[in-house]
Structure 1
Amino acid sequence: MAGVSALAYGIQLPVQSQSTLYTEEWETGAGPQDLVAVARAAEEAGFAYVACCDHVAVPRRLAPAMSTVWYDPVATLAHLAAVTERVRLLSHVAVVGLRHPLLTAKQYATLDHLSGGRLVLGVGAGHVREEFEALGADFERRGAVLDESIDALRAALGPDEFPEHHGKHYDFAGLGQRPRPAQPHVPLWVGGSSPAAVRRAALKGDGWLPQGDPRERLPAQIGRIRRLREDAGLDGPYTVGALTEPLYVGTPAWEVGRRTVTGPPRALAESLRAYRAMGVDQIQVRFRSRSRAELTDQVAAFGAEVAPDL
């Protein structure tokens, strides 16, 4: 693949969110030591980032499917920052409409400062009405609030000790916040796959985090992002992401599900290179596993045997 840059690869951490859609059985009894072990394994294997989700409170009606296990992303990523050195720390995604932008900026600027500039701030609109209502946030206008929140966060995470923003939902000036982020520009990736979310990602983000688009949908979505950015005259660096199918390096001795991509490392690499051909810059991978040890083995095998062929 001469002339084509390699795909970056990252991972949504296990344990820290336990929706029944993707949680493995072993995670229900796991804890902080398991999170640390997986984050360290990911760093050792050359993963670009480890990621953490965001829900403050899950209503009883959704708890059977979503569970109520959702670690706080700032606390979790700060904990992992202290036990790693290089891997980037991604909120995938922070529901920033639940909090005032100055509060979000204070938390994530501190995280970036403490981690030596490793934050990638992923943001999204959220989807749980009761969560918004309990916190006094506007659920019906959450898209418009997110649009403005991104602008406010650009200011509040920028170089100025006294950031300034004047908008419809938020207005602040003359209020100082230190420490400042270690990075001169904190990357801001926008999550979601609805037409509004894709437009927001194209026009307001430094990258796009799709919400589970299958491979066949990605080319059209990526094409739309490119057109929107071109039409708006935006030509800065941009990172297109994708969530891969579940993976298993090698031939599993157990039932991993029909959607899981399995096989020898070169076959997995060949399958994943198709994302690069679509215009994807980074893939978020997930591995099937029956234990922490099997997961860290999969992470190591991917880094050593699959990644060099990406």
Structure 2
Amino acid sequence: MTHTDKRRMEYGIQLPVQSQSTIYAEPWEAGAGPDDLLAVARTADGAGFAYIATCDHVAIPRRLAPAMSTVWYDPVATLAYLAAATERVRLLSHVAVVGLRHPLLTAKQYATLDRLSGGRLILGVGAGHVPEEFEALGVDFRQRGAVLDECLDALTAALGPEEFPEHHGKLYDFEGLGQRPRPAQPRVPLWVGGSSPAAVRRAALKGDGWLPQGDPRDRLPAQIARIRELRQDREGPFTVGAIAEPLYIGQPSWDVGRRTLTGGADQLAASLRAYGEMGVDQLQVRFRSRGRSELTDQMAAFGTEVAPHL
């Protein structure tokens, strides 16, 4: 594990606007667009955020549209657009449903993104959860776990340094097919999303990091202990993630919801440090806001007032 008690936790953000599920989207996002996305990404870049993240859905069925909405920007196009407008912040797919596409196609897109961005990609992957999406694209939804397992093996080869990667599996078989540009990084980090026992095992054994799917604080220690148990004979760095409760720095004059953590910088930092004590390496933060300027103000305040105490 990369975590040590003396090491400061990194912090990143799932971008607004690019995905608008009713679970987390703020009302103002419905009327927002590329300029707002750009402003938030640039704020993250300047405020010390480790990464900006985007989601992945190809198409949403009518039955889920009222809850999920149909606003899901393509992650590769979005991250490439934002890479050109930022300098240091890393680019995370949280998460790419890689089983919907052939691994060579995924590798071509994300290797190009890594090369264009100067090596800033983190490829976060997940199994997916919308059956109609899989059916439309000709992939067996019931086998999505096995598909993702093989995709991870294939992507490990296809995103490595070899111009002619090789993989021989049950679903995908390729060799003698060259792809350039290669990624700028010697190894693109693969973070695995999900909190089921299968997802945690997959992250520990096949990934370079774990992206939990909204585990509350009290569930994280057992999940992290399981990852450590599974990785005890494995070498190399591993990044444990967590998603914090919604935050609002200061005392809000409006209803930010009962689950939102509010208060001064010291108070919030003390609460968030508990994640680091559990063994979390990177914390995904989110902020309640009524508009773009309030969000970017909150992000800037977090970077200058809260983050130094993590």
TM-score bracket for the superposition, by shorter chain length = over 0.9
Verify: 1:51 aligned to 2:53, yes or no: yes
- DSSP-derived class of the 1:287 partner: coil
CA distance in 2, matches of 1:21, 1:123: 20
Aligned positions of 1:150-299 closer than 5 A: 150-230=152-232, 233-299=233-299
- The answer to whether the 8 A contact 2:5-2:277 is kept is no
CA distance in 2, matches of 1:3, 1:302: 21
CA distance in 2, matches of 1:282, 1:170: 33
Instruction: Kindly provide the amino acid, as one letter, of the partner of residue 295 in structure 1.
Output: L
Aligned positions of 1:27-176 closer than 5 A: 27-176=29-178
Shift of 1:236: 1.0
Shift of 1:3: 5.5
CA distance in 2, matches of 1:150, 1:142: 12
What does residue 7 of structure 2 align with? 5
Shift of 1:96: 0.3
CA distance in 2, matches of 1:247, 1:188: 27
Q: Which runs of 5+ in 1 are unaligned?
A: none
Instruction: Kindly provide the amino acid, as one letter, of the partner of residue 291 in structure 2.
Output: S
- Runs of 4+ aligned residues of structure 1 deviating over 6 Å after TM superposition are none
1:115-160 CA distance string (max 9 Å, x none): 0000000000000000000000121100001001000000000000
Instruction: Output the aligned Cα RMSD.
Output: 0.7
What does residue 17 of structure 1 align with? 19
CA distance in 2, matches of 1:138, 1:218: 31
Instruction: Kindly provide the amino acid, as one letter, of the partner of residue 180 in structure 1.
Output: R
- The answer to whether the 8 A contact 2:192-2:202 is kept is yes
1:184-232 CA distance string (max 9 Å, x none): 01000000000000000000000000000000000000000000111xx
Shift of 1:235: 2.5
- DSSP-derived class of the 2:142 partner: coil
